[in-house]
Amino acid sequence: MEDRNTDGTPVVRMIDITKTFPGVVANDRVSLTLHKGEVLALLGENGAGKSTLMNMLIGLYQPDSGSIFINGVHRQIHSPQDSMALGIGMIHQEFMLVGNMSVAENIVLGMKDLPFVPPMGEIKKKITALSKRYGLQVYPDKIIHDLSVGEQQRVEILKLLYRGADILILDEPTAVLTPGESRDLNEILKRMLSEGKSAIFITHKMDEVMSFSHTVQVLRRGKSVAVKPTGDIANVQELANMMVGRDVLFSLDRGPYEPGLAMVEVKDLVMLPIGGGKPILDNVSFSVRSGEIFGIAGVAGNGQQQLTEAITGLLHVDGGSIHLGGKNMTNKSPLAIIKGGVSHIPADRGRMGVVGDMSVGENLSMKKYRTAELSHNAVMKKSRIRRFAEDLIERFTIKTPSQDTSVKFLSGGNIQKTILAREIDFCRGILIAVYPSRGLDVGATEAVRQNLIKQRDQGSAVLLVSEELEELLMVADRIAVMFEGRIMDILDANKTTTEELGMLMAGVAREGR
Three-state secondary structure call for residue 89: strand
Q: Which part of the chain has CATH 3.40.50.300?
A: 12-244, 260-341+430-438+457-513
> Looking at the predicted structure, is the pLDDT value of residue 50 above 80?
yes
Q: Which of 149, 251, 178 is nearest to 499 (CA)?
A: 178
E strands, 281-409, are 281-289, 292-297, 319-324, 327-328, 342-345, 375-376, 379-380
Which backbone phi and psi does 280 adopt, to 5 degrees? Answer: -75, -40
pLDDT attached to residue 93: 66
Would the pTM of this model clear 0.75, i.e. be above it? no
Could you tell me the fold of the domain covering 260-341+430-438+457-513? Rossmann fold (3.40.50)
Across 87-101, 119-133, 247-261, 389-403, least confident range: 247-261
Residue closest to 437 by CA, chosen among 457, 452, 458? 452
| Pairing assessment for the beta strands 478-483 and 292-297 based on DSSP bridges | parallel
Report the percentage of the chain scoring pLDDT > 90. Answer: 44
Is 12-244 a domain of CATH 3.20.20.70?
no
At residue 36, the 3 state secondary structure works out as: coil
Cα(56)–Cα(59) distance, rounded to whole angstroms? Answer: 5
DSSP 3-state assignment of 512? coil
Nearest residue to 302 (alpha-carbon basis) of 268, 279, 322, 283:
279
CA 34 from centroid of its chain's CA atoms: 25
Do the Cβ atoms of 218 and 44 come closer than 8 Å?
A: yes
Whether 173 shows a pLDDT value over 70: the answer reads yes
Q: What percent of the chain has pLDDT over 70?
A: 94
Q: What is the pLDDT of residue 147?
A: 80
Give residue 162's pLDDT: 87
Q: In 373-485, where do the E strands start and end?
A: 375-376, 379-380, 430-434, 461-465, 478-483
* Per-residue confidence band for 7, with pLDDT thresholds at 50, 70 and 90: low
The answer to whether 390 touches 324, Cβ cutoff 8 Å, is: no
Instruction: Report the 10 Å Cβ neighbour count for 20.
Output: 15
pLDDT band at 411 (very low <50, low <70, confident <90, very high): confident
354 CB-near residues (< 8 Å, 6+ apart): 363, 407, 408, 415, 418, 419
Q: What is the pLDDT of residue 237?
A: 79
- Measured CA to CA, the distance from residue 414 to residue 397 in angstroms comes to 9
Torsion angle in degrees (nearest 10) through CA of 120, 123, 128, 129: 150
Rounded-to-integer distance, Cα 149 and Cα 184, Å? 13
Tally of CB atoms within 10 A around 436: 27
Query: Strand pairing partners for 32?
Result: 14
Provide the 8-state DSSP code for 375: E
Compute φ and ψ for 68, nearest 5 degrees. Answer: -125, 125
Which whole-number Å values give the CA distances from 401 to 22, 47, 51, 409, in the listed order?
9, 12, 18, 10
Kindly report which listed range (176-180, 438-442, 487-491) carries the lowest average pLDDT score.
176-180
DSSP 3-state assignment of 400? coil
Question: 450 or 176, which is more confident?
Answer: 450
**Distance, CA of 97 to CA of 106 (rounded, Å):** 6
3-state helix/strand/coil string of 339-360: HCCEEEECCCHHHHHCCCCCEH
The average pLDDT across 25-41 equals 94
- Least confident range from 28-42, 67-81, 211-225, 309-323: namely 211-225
- Per-residue confidence band for 440, with pLDDT thresholds at 50, 70 and 90: confident
Give the separation between CA 329 and CA 337, rounded to whole angstroms.
7
234 CA to centre of own chain:
26
Whether 333 contacts 356, CB under 8 Å: no
pLDDT score of 4: 55
What order of strands is seen across the sheet that includes strand 281-289?
281-289, 262-271, 319-324, 327-328
Q: At what angle do helices 442-457 and 412-426 cross, to 10 degrees?
A: 10
